[in-house]
Structure 1
Amino acid sequence: MSFFELNTAGAMLAKARRELSRLEGEASIDHVYNLFTTAYHVTDYLKPVLSEVDHKSLLADPIIRHCADVCNKAKHMVLTRGRPDPSTLSVSGAIGGAPINSIAINASGERWVRWPDGTELEVVQFARSVITRLEQIFAQHGVPADV
């Protein structure tokens, strides 16, 4: 597949799924960046196939808005257009400071994204929820999800 074959929403969703697989294997910054940048840009590929109302609704979806925040924060370093600026944190396998039931005891460490309103999302679980939400949007609107 050449670069220019990423020309449908389904092709971009397939790329986002591949990025998720890489992220699940290794939560490196490269995989985090690639996943959230790709996943958010699936919305650009959906614009021509959704109604204007449905596309605006997609962009207003809380999971997609958080995905946009991570994508745009990675690209611009600081969010300045009215969205809260998220930060990152890393949690060791210890329980101290982590919400109960949010990490496995003796886990190797996890990366989280935190928004000023107190929202905290573990990166891999968050990435899975973004892909799941995109898949739901595709199904709801009859958009082919396969390449």
Structure 2
Amino acid sequence: MALTDFDRALIAATQGGLPLVARPYEAVGAMLGVSGEQVRQRLSSMLDSGLIRRIGAVPNHYRLGYTANGMSVWDVEDDQVQALGQRIAKLPGVSHCYRRPRHLPEWPYNLFAMLHGTSRAAVEQQAQELAAILGAACRGHDILYSTAILKKTGLRLKN
């Protein structure tokens, strides 16, 4: 899909994030000389077409006090992973949850859920809650803790 000049300007105006104001689309529109509704509509059509995947907040968990961040990985029965993953994804401490293929025999895990806490003990408590929900459908799990922030950026255009 070819980008229009307006698309390029819109991406350039938002690639550092939306302005932290009460009406961010209007603020972006003012920078571009269009209405906030035009910005909202174009972003919506970019989402619908798959040009962009999502519009969402990208918090720096460390700056918010959540210094223990762990990707919990789970070996869940394949016939139950979809339904159980949907339940896990709704939990307040889970920022992302998704299914991934196993790579046996080294990697038996097929459900991933990112957990955030103010300590490793808090993350481990959340993992216990997930284990209780997964019940007998779960054959094993682990927690892989973050040691650095690798990416906190959105869409970027190359010149």
Higher helix share: 1
More strand by share: 2
Q: TM-score, normalised by structure 1?
A: 0.26
Q: TM-score, normalised by structure 2?
A: 0.24
